[in-house]
Amino acid sequence: MKYLKFEELDNIQQELLNAAEESMKTHLFVDHDSGDYIGAALLTDKHDIVSALKLEDSASGKRCPEGIALVKANSMGYREYISIAYISESLSDEGEIREPCKDCRQMMEGYAGPDLEVILSTAKKDRIVVTSIDKLP
């Protein structure tokens, strides 16, 4: 896999990743804090950004941000998507790039098609992978 630096992304990709990071850092509704934070930001075909954070609560468990972003964007009336940025920070791993789970990949493919651009980043944004859903390992 080829790693990029933040500066190598284009302006829109940088903006998208920054939006995902901002969401990740919000972690507002965490009442069951596992120390595992994820943010996602979805770029629509209208060039609007819809972002979401991972929700975690003791009643219903966890919900991934990429799924929430898709549901949120859809309920706002968006139907076409260009790209999604995904960033994670965990107290238990140091600087790993993590990937969306299987359920979310299927959901993203269903909503956005297999060639949706996916931007995966470490919390520090020092290693970034740009790929598409169908090329995720």
**Which residues contact Zn ion (rule: CB under 5 A)?**
64, 101, 104
With beta carbons less than 8 A apart as the criterion, state whether 36 and 88 touch.
Answer: yes
Cβ contacts of 77 within 8 Å, gap of 6 or more: none
DSSP helix/strand/coil, 54: coil
Minimum separation from the CB atom of position 72 to Zn ion (A): 15
State which residue, 9 or 41, has the beta carbon closest to Zn ion: 41
Minimum separation from the CB atom of position 111 to Zn ion (A): 13
Minimum separation from the CB atom of position 39 to Zn ion (A): 13
In total, the chain counts a number of residues equal to 137
Which residue number places its CB atom closest to Zn ion?
Answer: 64
State which residue, 42 or 64, has the beta carbon closest to Zn ion: 64
The rounded distance, in Å, linking the Cα atoms of 86 and 40 is 5
State which residue, 104 or 119, has the beta carbon closest to Zn ion: 104
